[in-house]
Structure 1
Amino acid sequence: MKIFMNRPIPHFRMVRKLMIIMKLTWILLLAGMLQVSASVYSQSVKFSFNMKNQKVIDVLNEIETNSEFRFFYQNEQIDLNRRVTVQTQNATVEEILKEMFEGTDISYSLKEEKLVLLMKGNSLNSNTTKSQQDKKISGKVTEQSGQALPGVTVMIKGTTQGTVTDADGEYSLSNIPERATLVFSFVGMRAQEVVVGSQTIINLSMQEEAIGLEEVVAVGYGTIKKSDLTGSVTQVDADIYKRQPLTQVTEMLAGTVAGFRSTQSTSAAGGSSMMVRGPNSINASNSPLVVLDGVIYNGDISDINPADIETIDVLKDASSAAVFGAKAAAGVIIITTSKGYKGSPSINVSMKFGISEARNKGFLVRDEDNFMEYRKNFFRTLYGSQPDYYWFNPNDLPKGVTLEQWRMASSNPNPDDTREWLSRMNFFPDEVKNYLEGNSVNWAKETMPKGFRKDFDISVSGGTDNLTYYWSIGYLDNEGIIKGDKFSALRSRLNNEYKINDWLKVGVNLQYAFRDESTVTANIGEAGVQSPYSKVFNDDGTINWYPYGYEVSRNPLLNTFGQDRLRKVQGLFAVLYSEITLPYGFSYRFSFQPHIQNIKDYNYWSPDTYVGSVSYANGRIERTDYSNYEWMIDNLIKWNRTIDKHSFDLTLLFNAETNSDWNSYMTNSNIQPEPVLGYHGMQFGIYPAVFSDDTKVTGDALMARINYTLNEKYLFTASVRRDGYSAFGQKYPRATFPAAAFAWQISRENFYNEDWFINRAKLRISWGRNGNRSIGAYSALSALSLNQYYDGSQVQMGVNTSRLANNNLRWEETESLNIGIDMGFLDNRFDLSLDVYSMSTTDLLVKRSLPKITGFDNITTNIGQLHNKGFELTLISKNINTPNFLWKSIFTYAMNRNKIVELFGDKGEYVLEGKTQEGEIPDITNQWFPGKALDVIWDYDIAGIWQLGEEEEASKYNLKPGDFKARNLDDIEKYEALQDKTFIGFKEPRHSLGLMNEFTILKNISASVFLRADLGHLRAFPYSVRGWSMFDRQNSNNYPYWTFENKSNEYPRLNNNLASFGGGIMPYKPTSFLRLQDVTVSYNLANAIGEIKYLKGCDIFLSARNLFTITNWPGWDPESGNSPMPKIYSAGINFTL
């Protein structure tokens, strides 16, 4: 990159000083990276020029083109258009500069590396400065949190004498002039000046700049300054999340990026689906592509340790993601891990301990009193022949009802009133026994104990002139909130880079993960149908299969005692690369990325448990062995050059890949003579079965991208990628994906006054087309299956075609248009980004059902069109920024709407919502409706509950008080799906909001508070429409159901009638919520206790996740729906040596 941009520097004193400091900062940072002695290089590189009557600028450009020298100067001090003649043979750069500037007042200085500083006067040449003293200054520079800050430029004001802080944030300067002032500067921080005076040690805590525009974000196959972006990219700094109890990467992103959707997981292993800007496909994957340290990553995201992550960049628009072509239609997540820095070794240790418990645990089961009330109300609303008081507790009869009346309601009452009542409640003998003995079970406590987690991480980083290194290892042991749910992982990373010489460097990024997912969990579904008057264990200590004596309802802990499981996952991912620096601004990078994954999943079910609904005598064994090997190569050529007002950045790519899977499955049962070996005794069963499935796919790609900047105001990006993939049909194995983008730095125009209220403004427009190749390896090919048939005398084997080929199967393509604007307010104290987008996906990859007459169930084909549009807003503000108090906020908002434009193309008349309509026929089975959203809900519109006094009207529909009352659309007194079902809402949020607040108090205390909201969507609530019988306990329906006393107009009676609703009925409830998702407080102990030898930093912290949720959702949790969400508390310590 060329240092000098030939445009006038603004004549504002502070701006000019800031720009000088920024340039010096860049130079000195670059100097710290190159690690080569200037004197050695400058003497070893020779030039032979014959340039007559050429401009100074042309000579400097020629030197830069033919070497690694870079010049730094201000054009207002140097006459760049002055004509000079340079005729040399094997001359050094010093000799050429001496000849060029002889007789002028321009001096030059070679600073540490291949950097030449030019300035009017001789102040640059430290060798000619005679007024310097022997005084020495040293100190340490930190962030406001107290963490050491490496790479800070420390300059003596008015000179070019300076240095850069090392990995520990420390610096040292000698020969300090009298009345000197030190200038500290760092990208993203406010430049600060300190008068030296009589001080010999100057420590400084740097304050963040209002908004960091020069921060670097990752884009496809490279990085770019945030201010130079033409597309829609959001960066997440992982540092603030490292004190939180995270299991995997997706937990960092839930709610933090506008337009990115990731729901929290409820399991110990974590993991959730990810989606960027809504769905772009009906059947194919809507998950974004993951890029790890600059290369495509197809491994399990659970293998990436969150503690290793430096930043996460989310590429949302087509032009940003188009360089990844066939894999990028759903967006791109770029993860950058930590690297080493030059300096002494730094050892970081982090330890976290946590405890988790279920939110809303009371939803699972009722206590004893509520259970008895529930049983009473269940029978009361059966509308049987018994009087209402028949079901009441004899010790709590309705007013006016005598005990004798109550007893006479039975033809042959039990002499014991309590036993009589329990009989009426249809109690089983075991329940009666436990009730009378006072025995009860809290099934929520039995199946959902508190979970504990332990998380340990250690890393070592550092470097020398020719080597940087980073190594880490982390161990996580996490228990979930459901009994038996557990997850552990050992994850390690090595990032090393070696500088062989001035033009060659090589590196390795290595990731290894070992995960133990050998979990067998309690069945909370079974727990929801247990009576509290049960026994978990028999008197002899064995598991009680049927806790209350009913042989349909099994013990929810049964499998945790009767199933033995081993599931171990190992993954190895590596990036081996070399980079060559070529003349004329070119560079070449070759990388090889192998990925290996092995999974062992072994299960043994003893005779004392069930496999599904079957119990196997002498047990059952299943063993799955899965292996995956993938390799990928990237050949990357880059060219970067600045010529006058023009900057060019060219990227060329050739990519190739192969992915192979081997899957073997074995099973056996009735193990002889005894199943004492568990899953090791596969060969001893008498019903063996073996299955194997191996697949292989290949792909390749060519890509070209050019970034062009004119006068730092007008930014252009254009790219094209050509992809090939073996899974598509013979006619369309390849596709081309172009993209283009433009950005206009409005505030850099001469007419724009940067002192205005809106001091910065940039307009962005991008267009592009990306692809989706998420189909099976052989989806375009026909498949053969073995079948048996009987020929009249014996069983024969035959082969038949089980899948229809499709040679025309082609790529699913998404075309996208994005328009955005970035604005800074009040000297960039507030940063606002707005984006609107429109996307259209064609040739949707769908498994289309076929008529039975064809002999096939379906065929993978391309159909229809899906449209997607939305709006996003991100506001970053520095609310308060003082030395003792910093308050920063990040607010995000996103809205997405989608619509099925076209489906199968079959047109005609059809009945929907009680009307005969004409147009494209919908797919009722999959609930796909042309013209409607993909997530639209089609069901009966429940208008309330039939109440007492409405018996006559309800009876017309064969319903009774307490049953659902739905809108009748065709005025026929019968509920039919096509006639009366309508569109009642949407499954995905209509609006998503997030608010992160970060605080730093008195330099030692840091805190973050994250609020998140999803609004406007619905979710099915099946608990109020479950099947019922007199024997079922259904004890999980802990909601205010309809009774004669509680005349709810929202929840039906326990025994509500569903048969009268054609096609079935499902109530949907609002799942909008506002959640306090994360709270973290940390204290910088190192700052508080002062300097300790070998201790570079230490902080202790507390964190809580999912502290509270405001919602009207009646079930477990509005985000997880019908499973419990954990509330997690953790504490930890982090220290650096």
Structure 2
Amino acid sequence: MRFSLFVFLSMLITTQWISASSLNGQNLEAVKVSLSLNNETLVHAFQKIEKQTSFRFMYRKEDVRHIRSVSHSGASVSLDQLLGAILIPNGLTYKQVGQRIMIMPGTAVPEVRSSAFPEPPVVLPPLKGRVTDEKGEGLPGVSILLKGTQQGTTTDGEGNFTLDVPNENAVLVFSFVGYVSQETVVGSRTYLEISLKVDEKSLEELVVVGYGTQKKSDLTGAVIRLNGDTFKNQSITQVTDMLAGSVAGFYANQSPSAAGGASMEIRGPSSLSAGTSPMIVLDGVVYNGSIRDINPSDIETIDILKDASSAAVFGAKAAAGVIIITTLRGKTGKPTIQFSTKLGVAEVTRKKFGSYDGQGYLDYRRDMYRFMRGPLPDYYYFSPDELPAGVTLEQWRAASANPHEDNTTEWLNRLNFFPIEQENYKAGRSMNWMDEVITPGLRQDYDLSVGGGTENLKYYWSVGYTNNEGIIKGDQFGTIRSRLNVDFKVADWLNVGMNTQFADRDESVVQGNLSTMYMASPFGSMWNDDGSVRWYPGDYIGVVNPLMDYYGRDRLRKIQSIFSALFAEFRLPLGITHRVSYQPRYEVMKDYNYWSPQTVTGGQTYPDGRATREDYSQFGWMLDNLMKWNKQVGVHGFDVTLLHNLEHTRTWTSTSTNITFRPSPVLGFSGMQFGTNPTVSSNDTEVSGDALMARLNYSLLGRYLLTASVRRDGYSAFGQKNPRAVFPALALAWNLGEENFFDVSWISQFKIRASWGVNGNRDIGMYSALAQLGSNLHYNGTNLQVGLFNNSLANSNLRWERTESVNLGFDVDLFNNRFNLTA
């Protein structure tokens, strides 16, 4: 996509040059100059020519900055001859557009035939031909030169050309921006078919922005890019793992769980009451699913839009920034099969923290009570075997009004040890709860992908399996993720395709409790005498057994989702493209739980167990109508984008609960009918939204850039008086490095930018603006009745939260793009 966009831009620009070459302007052969050059830079030579003539030069800095030894005798020659003498040996050529001279890459020749460049006589019939790209499509504006001369031509809008050649030994040089130059001997042929290949090194990086792409040099907003290849050899199972620590200003509160993931913020929180997570855009469309369902192995690039002007085109939900994820696609050629596997072990880096072994716990209890001792002497809580110097056993015993006859028992009583703790201490039994709860976890990740295609049909399919264990006993996460991307060229004016993602997640986690692990006594007991789990290891109710749920709770939590984007793109007259995209998403979840009598929840509160079953499903769709127009008019570049968006989402949730399972709770949540007190609840929701957006990107000489956009959003969750809001944005940038006066060879690009924008936040409850009723049971003296009551009032004035931001920054590329600085 980025190659074709670059080519399209180049076609428009070059075609404009061709059409302008015959416009008003002096003939270069009629303009005489007397210029003395002695090992000077080419830029300096251009400046001297501009002083003697009315012409102005336009060029890319990377094409000329390395040419630093241009010489000329000072004789009076035509400007056409002078340019030929200083450009052709350095692999450059030019085009005249009025009073401007465009400098373009050409092909270097070892020798200039003469200072006057006489045209060779034509002795053969005119040579005809066509120049195409790798897809077989005609390339307009390709420069065709007869090697060793300035005689040549350019291809028309269909890539066709006609040229007079002197003889069969003539060599033609075909060159075009973004493609590898090619030389061909004419021979006896009268028609040539030339196919140019894309020059990967010469293409400027294209960055994905809202609803399209832009050259990095043309960006006016703050955008950061990450390449998926950077993370190929790292053990990463979640997208958030790729972002954490890789982007300045991006904050990810990493989760240590087996599932991974994190809460994300870009440049800090952006709201006091609504959500602060950035919007996710997947392959050009807004993604409302779980980021855990995106396989990092499928990612080609990630672009992060930091400032308001970049994110404003997405309006709602973009107040916290935008993360644009682009996945891999098929390429022309034979099928390419890739398989990767990653195995690892997760474990804590510092084993001893938080919980205590036996001696550490005794020291902790002693010091805690010493701090709270009040009028008691400092040695009161010391062990009778470790009394401070100068303190006798008699003094220590006398500190209690009625000391126990056994000194050890007396000391443990002072430390408030419960009977089970005293029993285990005297028997020499202790345990370290960290050794029971913390355990190494195995991590496994397997990925298989197949990609390939023809000129008209390209495909990419992948499937990945992840099975992770955490460092806490019982913490686990498993998922199967698959993706299918298809692109089909139906006709020259129509492309269709599909991006589909499927995920099956297993989050049936019942893990140990870290909070109670830190507080549990090492002199407590894991088990009762009958082999059941002991609710309170140390017999005090404040600390529950850290592994009680792990041994006594059964859970099934499965989530399946499918997300697809079906699109058709039409190429219309006047350079307009129209893209229609429909994105359905369906998700189902089962979350079943059973607490056996062994657990506090199931045994103490509900002696015969408790079970719940929650079933959830959601179906949502989004429809985008996108129109784009891109045009280069001389030195002016225009890129216009228009969008109309519709969306709708419905959810269905039902929950059933039961307790007191008799005669046996052995079936757990699979036998809900055996409980004696069933309850059922349900909740269905529906929400919709719409949007209109317009954006203009304008470029002057490729140096002065402007982006202006406005978006109007509507969302059903807001009050009837304010269902819609308007969000404008404006950004300016100056490519200082493209100015002729800026000649610093080690700076590849230097751009200054400023932006302002307003974004909206709609991350609120679906029915926050409506009055809500609650229900309850009451006894009317005869039987139970269902009653309704008003638990919240309507708010018809509820409106959009607006976030306004201003951004000033710069982008600098150093040493031929080896180092990049962005602020």
- What TM-score range do you get, normalising by the shorter chain? 0.7 to 0.9
Structure 2 CA distance for aligned equivalents of residues 243 and 550 of structure 1: 49
Aligned with 2:200 (options 186, 191, 194): 186
Q: How far did 1:315 drift?
A: 0.4
Which residue does the alignment assign to 1:447? 437
User: What code does the residue aligned with 1:451 have?
Assistant: G
State yes or no: 1:346 paired with 2:336. yes
- 1:458-473, aligned counterparts within 5 Å? 458-473=448-463
Which residue does the alignment assign to 2:314? 324
User: What code does the residue aligned with 2:791 have?
Assistant: S
Alignment check: 8 A CA contact 1:766 1:819 kept: yes
With the length of structure 1 as denominator, give the TM-score of the two structures.
0.59
Aligned with 1:805 (options 794, 797, 802): 794
CA-to-aligned-CA distance 1:614-637 (integer Å, 9 cap, x gap) = 531211111111111110111111
Q: How far did 1:2 drift?
A: 3.9
Aligned with 2:700 (options 690, 706, 710): 710
Which residue does the alignment assign to 1:182? none
User: What code does the residue aligned with 2:133 have?
Assistant: A
Decide whether aligned partners of structure 1 residues 752 and 539 sit closer, same or farther in structure 2, where only a CA change above 3 A counts. Answer: same
Identity %: 50
Q: How far did 1:742 drift?
A: 1.7
Which residue does the alignment assign to 1:276? 266
Aligned with 1:480 (options 470, 475, 485): 470
Structure 2: which 5+ residue stretches go unaligned? 1-7, 18-56, 68-86, 94-102, 108-129
Alignment check: 8 A CA contact 2:813 2:820 kept: yes
Decide whether aligned partners of structure 1 residues 92 and 501 sit closer, same or farther in structure 2, where only a CA change above 3 A counts. Answer: closer
State yes or no: 1:628 paired with 2:618. yes
Structure 1 CA distance for aligned equivalents of residues 768 and 529 of structure 2: 56
Where 1:418 maps in the other structure, the secondary structure is: helix
User: What code does the residue aligned with 1:428 have?
Assistant: F
Decide whether aligned partners of structure 1 residues 69 and 564 sit closer, same or farther in structure 2, where only a CA change above 3 A counts. Answer: same
State yes or no: 1:726 paired with 2:785. no
Alignment check: 8 A CA contact 1:672 1:684 kept: yes
Decide whether aligned partners of structure 1 residues 126 and 554 sit closer, same or farther in structure 2, where only a CA change above 3 A counts. Answer: same
Structure 1: which 5+ residue stretches go unaligned? 39-67, 131-158, 166-184, 189-212, 835-1137
Alignment check: 8 A CA contact 1:71 1:115 kept: no
State yes or no: 1:302 paired with 2:292. yes
User: What code does the residue aligned with 1:676 have?
Assistant: V
Of residues 619-628 and 495-504 in structure 1, the stretch that sits farther from structure 2 once superposed is: 495-504
Aligned with 1:399 (options 363, 379, 389): 389
Higher RCO by CA contacts (8 Å cutoff, separation 6 or greater) = 1
Structure 2 CA distance for aligned equivalents of residues 109 and 513 of structure 1: 55
With the length of structure 2 as denominator, give the TM-score of the two structures.
0.80
State yes or no: 1:496 paired with 2:486. yes
State yes or no: 1:72 paired with 2:142. yes
Q: How far did 1:488 drift?
A: 0.7
Q: How far did 1:796 drift?
A: 4.5
Where 1:326 maps in the other structure, the secondary structure is: coil
Q: How far did 1:672 drift?
A: 2.3
Alignment check: 8 A CA contact 1:70 1:115 kept: no
Q: How far did 1:407 drift?
A: 3.8
Which residue does the alignment assign to 2:634? 644
Structure 1 CA distance for aligned equivalents of residues 560 and 357 of structure 2: 44
Decide whether aligned partners of structure 1 residues 613 and 833 sit closer, same or farther in structure 2, where only a CA change above 3 A counts. Answer: farther
Aligned with 2:772 (options 777, 783, 787): 783
Structure 1 CA distance for aligned equivalents of residues 662 and 58 of structure 2: 89
Alignment check: 8 A CA contact 1:109 1:118 kept: no
Decide whether aligned partners of structure 1 residues 539 and 160 sit closer, same or farther in structure 2, where only a CA change above 3 A counts. Answer: farther
Alignment check: 8 A CA contact 1:572 1:597 kept: yes
Decide whether aligned partners of structure 1 residues 19 and 294 sit closer, same or farther in structure 2, where only a CA change above 3 A counts. Answer: farther
Structure 2 CA distance for aligned equivalents of residues 367 and 491 of structure 1: 43
Q: How far did 1:338 drift?
A: 1.1
Which residue does the alignment assign to 2:122? none
Q: How far did 1:823 drift?
A: 2.6
Decide whether aligned partners of structure 1 residues 788 and 12 sit closer, same or farther in structure 2, where only a CA change above 3 A counts. Answer: closer
Moved segments of 4+, more than 6 Å: 15-25, 74-82, 107-112, 114-119, 159-163
Aligned with 1:819 (options 805, 808, 816): 808
Alignment check: 8 A CA contact 1:108 1:118 kept: no
User: What code does the residue aligned with 1:229 have?
Assistant: L
- 1:237-256, aligned counterparts within 5 Å? 237-256=227-246
Decide whether aligned partners of structure 1 residues 18 and 633 sit closer, same or farther in structure 2, where only a CA change above 3 A counts. Answer: farther
CA-to-aligned-CA distance 1:26-53 (integer Å, 9 cap, x gap) = xx99933x3x3x6xxxxxxxxxxxxxxx
Decide whether aligned partners of structure 1 residues 390 and 129 sit closer, same or farther in structure 2, where only a CA change above 3 A counts. Answer: farther
Which residue does the alignment assign to 1:607? 597
User: What code does the residue aligned with 2:582 have?
Assistant: F
User: What code does the residue aligned with 1:221 have?
Assistant: Y
Alignment check: 8 A CA contact 1:607 1:615 kept: no
State yes or no: 1:31 paired with 2:133. yes
Alignment check: 8 A CA contact 2:778 2:786 kept: yes
Aligned with 1:220 (options 192, 205, 210): 210
CA-to-aligned-CA distance 1:848-904 (integer Å, 9 cap, x gap) = xxxxxxxxxxxxxxxxxxxxxxxxxxxxxxxxxxxxxxxxxxxxxxxxxxxxxxxxx
Where 1:693 maps in the other structure, the secondary structure is: strand
Aligned with 2:187 (options 111, 128, 142): 128
Q: How far did 1:492 drift?
A: 0.8
- 1:83-482, aligned counterparts within 5 Å? 94=160, 97-98=161-162, 125-128=184-187, 186-187=200-201, 214-410=204-400, 413-482=403-472
Alignment check: 8 A CA contact 1:110 1:117 kept: no
CA-to-aligned-CA distance 1:590-626 (integer Å, 9 cap, x gap) = 1110111111000011111122995312111111111
State yes or no: 1:832 paired with 2:821. yes
Structure 2 CA distance for aligned equivalents of residues 797 and 358 of structure 1: 53
Where 1:379 maps in the other structure, the secondary structure is: helix
Where 2:347 maps in the other structure, the secondary structure is: strand
CA-to-aligned-CA distance 1:621-668 (integer Å, 9 cap, x gap) = 111111111101111111122222222222111111101111111111
CA root-mean-square deviation: 3.6
Where 2:515 maps in the other structure, the secondary structure is: helix
Of residues 712-721 and 407-416 in structure 1, the stretch that sits farther from structure 2 once superposed is: 407-416
Alignment check: 8 A CA contact 1:108 1:117 kept: no
Where 1:399 maps in the other structure, the secondary structure is: coil
Where 2:315 maps in the other structure, the secondary structure is: helix
Structure 2 CA distance for aligned equivalents of residues 468 and 516 of structure 1: 32
Which residue does the alignment assign to 1:870? none
User: What code does the residue aligned with 1:186 have?
Assistant: E
Aligned with 2:581 (options 565, 583, 591): 591
Which residue does the alignment assign to 2:119? none
Which residue does the alignment assign to 1:690? 680
Which residue does the alignment assign to 1:571? 561
User: What code does the residue aligned with 2:140 have?
Assistant: R
Structure 2 CA distance for aligned equivalents of residues 448 and 116 of structure 1: 56
Q: How far did 1:18 drift?
A: 8.3
Q: How far did 1:238 drift?
A: 2.3
State yes or no: 1:771 paired with 2:785. no
Alignment check: 8 A CA contact 2:180 2:197 kept: no
Alignment check: 8 A CA contact 2:618 2:649 kept: yes
Decide whether aligned partners of structure 1 residues 379 and 103 sit closer, same or farther in structure 2, where only a CA change above 3 A counts. Answer: closer
Alignment check: 8 A CA contact 2:91 2:106 kept: no
Kindly tell me the number of residue pairs found equivalent between the two proteins: 714
Where 1:500 maps in the other structure, the secondary structure is: strand
Of residues 269-278 and 291-300 in structure 1, the stretch that sits farther from structure 2 once superposed is: 269-278
Structure 2 CA distance for aligned equivalents of residues 24 and 243 of structure 1: 40
Aligned with 1:761 (options 750, 763, 780): 750
Q: How far did 1:826 drift?
A: 4.9
Which residue does the alignment assign to 2:26? none
Alignment check: 8 A CA contact 2:145 2:153 kept: no
Alignment check: 8 A CA contact 1:8 1:75 kept: no
Decide whether aligned partners of structure 1 residues 431 and 584 sit closer, same or farther in structure 2, where only a CA change above 3 A counts. Answer: same
CA-to-aligned-CA distance 1:1052-1105 (integer Å, 9 cap, x gap) = xxxxxxxxxxxxxxxxxxxxxxxxxxxxxxxxxxxxxxxxxxxxxxxxxxxxxx
Which residue does the alignment assign to 2:43? none
Where 1:128 maps in the other structure, the secondary structure is: coil
Decide whether aligned partners of structure 1 residues 23 and 495 sit closer, same or farther in structure 2, where only a CA change above 3 A counts. Answer: farther
